């Protein structure tokens, strides 16, 4: 037992929390995510009735991060951002391409992120770095694919037997390689 004697008079509260370097409050992280998601919803959907549904999903995703609302919102935005069959992609598609990925990461992160308290920027930086590493090639590939497909019959390309076999095999591989091990491991809650 080694500690000095306490002073008896009430003293002003002085806070000496552990120094963790550059950090940002978790509440600010949540606020930034909320602003980005709401902005994305308004930009992609516009001022129509569907926006209310999207905002409810967004609110639920932020308030109850253990649920699947973030991914439901990503699906909704993906459907809304669809253009015409043979039209070149507009900016909304690329926004949703990044937004859906961001919603996926937000849904994963908000599960363990505390409501308040500092979050080290280095931790957020790692998540964002992975986001960028995956997102940049995805944006470039999407631009190339959709530009190449623009003006052609997408229906004939995608409904050919060869494409169906390749897509089916890819799905099967995905299920065997990822889905079964994850389901065996079990979700956290």
Partner 1 sequence: MTDTSSGDYRWIPSAGLVFGLVAGILLVGAGLLFSRPQLVLIAAPILVSVIWTYQRRPRTQPSVSVGTTVAARTTSRADVAYSVEFDVPSEAEAIVVRLYERGRERSELVVDSATAALLSGEIEIVHSGPQELVRVDYRLVGPQGGVTTAPVVGPRSSRVIPPRLLPLRRLPLPFRMFGLSGGHDSSRPGDGGEFRDIGQFVPGDRLRRIDWKVTVRRGQGPGDLYVRRSFSTADATVLVVMDSRDEVAQLVTNRNSNLLKFDSVTSLDLAREAASSLASAYIASGDRVGFRDLARSTRVLAPAGGSAQLHRLLPTIAQTRPFGAPQRRVRPPIIPAGALVYLLSTFLDGEAAKMAELWRVAGHRVVAVDTLPPTTTEGLRSEQRGALRIVQLEREARILALESLGVDIIRWHPMNRHSPESQLAALSRVARRRR
Judged by CB under 8 A, the chain residues 33 through 62 that form the site for partner 1 are: none
Q: Is residue 31 close enough to count as binding partner 1 by CB under 8 A? A: no
Q: Is residue 188 close enough to count as binding partner 1 by CB under 8 A? A: yes
CA distances to 13, 82, 140, 155 from 159, in Å: 69, 18, 24, 6
Residue numbers 102-121 binding partner 1 by CB under 8 A: 104-105, 107-109, 111-120
C-alpha span between 38 and 108 (Å, rounded) = 18
Q: Which of 7, 49, 161, 162 binds partner 1 (CB under 8 A)?
A: 7
Q: Which of 56, 130, 165, 176 binds partner 1 (CB under 8 A)?
A: 130
CB half-sphere exposure, 175, CA atoms < 13 A? 6
Q: How far is the CB of 74 from partner 1 (least distance, A)?
A: 6
Query: Which of these ranges, 30-38, 40-48, 49-57, 97-105, lies near partner 1 under the rule CB under 8 A?
Result: 97-105
Q: Is residue 27 close enough to count as binding partner 1 by CB under 8 A? A: no
Q: Is residue 128 close enough to count as binding partner 1 by CB under 8 A? A: no
Instruction: Report CA dihedral (85, 90, 92, 97) to the nearest 10 degrees.
Output: 80
124 with 25: CB under 8 angstroms?
no
Q: Which of 52, 127, 165, 169 binds partner 1 (CB under 8 A)?
A: 127
CA 40 to chain centroid: 12
Query: Which of these ranges, 30-38, 39-47, 49-57, 138-146, lies near partner 1 under the rule CB under 8 A?
Result: 138-146
User: Nearest CA to 55 among 37, 80, 33?
Assistant: 37
Task: Count interface residues toward partner 1 (CB under 8 A).
Answer: 89
Count of Cβ atoms closer than 10 Å to residue 164 Cβ: 11
């Amino acid at each position: 037992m080694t500690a000095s004697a306490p002073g008896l008079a009430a003293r002003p509260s002085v806070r000496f929390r552990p120094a963790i370097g550059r950090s940002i409050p978790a509440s600010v992280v949540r606020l930034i995510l909320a602003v980005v998601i709401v902005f994305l919803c308004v930009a992609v959907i516009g001022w129509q009735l569907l926006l209310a549904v999207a905002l409810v999903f967004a609110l639920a995703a932020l308030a109850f991060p253990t649920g699947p609302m973030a991914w439901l919102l990503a699906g909704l935005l993906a459907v809304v951002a669809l253009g015409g069959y043979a039209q070149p992609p507009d900016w909304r598609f690329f926004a949703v391409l990044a937004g859906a990925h961001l919603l996926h990461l937000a849904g994963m992160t908000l599960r363990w992120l505390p409501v308040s308290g500092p979050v080290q920027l280095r931790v957020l930086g790692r998540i964002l770095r992975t986001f960028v590493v995956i997102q940049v090639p995805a944006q470039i590939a999407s631009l190339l694919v959709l530009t190449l497909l623009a003006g052609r019959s997408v229906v004939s390309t995608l409904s050919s037997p060869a494409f169906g076999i390749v897509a089916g095999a890819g799905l099967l591989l995905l299920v065997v390689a990822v889905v079964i091990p994850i389901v065996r491991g079990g979700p956290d809650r």
